[in-house]
Amino acid sequence: MPLHYMDCSFAYRAGTPVLDSLTTDLPQGCTVLLGPNGAGKSTLLSLGASCLAPASGRITLGRLDSVRRRDRRAFRQKVGWLPQEVKAIPALTVREQAAYVGWLKGLSKRDAWDRSATALEQVRLTELGGRKSHELSGGQLRRLGIAQTLVHQAEIVLLDEPTAGLDPVQRGVFRDLLAELSDSVHFIVSTHQTEDLADIYDTVLVFDRGRPVFRGPVSDFFATAPAGTPYERRAESAYRGLVRGEI
């Protein structure tokens, strides 16, 4: 079931809309969301996670509406969200933090605790489960953030720049993780990293100035690069041809 944006508008400041009557749905499978700084990617994902509410229009997942009070809990259980900045919760251990987020998402305490073990295993953090989460490195904290999106068994997971600042080994761990989980979960991953797209993602969505300007399989995205573009420059060249850049 796709996350559907219907005639959505949103502005942080009156008179400067980030999204203006946007109607789209987020692709199923494993999708990379590309776009220049300020294009509105984080805003799109925050709205999709029901962390922000549209000024007008609706965001739905099947029959669930992101802002309708009686739907909100079920909506948030089905949609996982990793914001750009993952916060350690002071005094909680890594496992307690993952379980706490599961509980906030509506799981019973027992289910949250049980599922936190699986989620930490999925992101290879089991061994650090007893450590205080504020003691984690940036990359480890990000993996805890991903575990938080998995603990409540979301159907769709929105990841906002999950690999920013990760070393190449950790990026590889993340790539393997997506490959492992993408059979059962739909992922939308906002990133500025365009290497390895074909190895990781099914679909490319390019966002520019609050609008999708490209959506299609990775091969179609590469095909927008001018003929003769060297193999290793295809992604960058395709991207540059599609976006107009920062406002």
One-letter amino acid for residue 85 of the chain: E
Give 106's DSSP letter: T
How many CA atoms are closer than 13 Å to the CA of 101, on its beta-carbon side? Answer: 31
Per rule CB under 6 A, is residue 203 in the interface with ligand ATP? no
Per rule CB under 6 A, is residue 37 in the interface with ligand ATP? yes
Q: Nearest-CA neighbor of 35 among 182, 229, 245, 233?
A: 245
Q: For CA atoms 182, 164, 216, 197, give the dihedral sign.
A: negative
CA-only gyration radius of the chain, Å:
18
14-33 residues near ligand ATP, rule: CB under 6 A: 18
Q: Binding residue for ligand ATP (CB under 6 A) from 3, 34, 35, 166?
A: 35
Per rule CB under 6 A, is residue 38 in the interface with ligand ATP? yes
In terms of CB distance, is 42 or 50 closer to ligand ATP? 42
One-letter amino acid for residue 235 of the chain: A
In terms of CB distance, is 20 or 71 closer to ligand ATP? 20
- Binding part of the chain for ligand ATP, among 39-47, 64-72, 133-141, 234-242 by CB under 6 A, reads 39-47
101-121 in b/e form (b: 16+ CB < 10 A) is bbbebebeeebbbebbeebbe
40-59 residues near ligand ATP, rule: CB under 6 A: 40-43
- Binding part of the chain for ligand ATP, among 36-44, 64-72, 114-122, 125-133 by CB under 6 A, reads 36-44
Per rule CB under 6 A, is residue 115 in the interface with ligand ATP? no
Q: Which residues bind ligand ATP (CB under 6 A)?
A: 12, 18, 35, 37-43
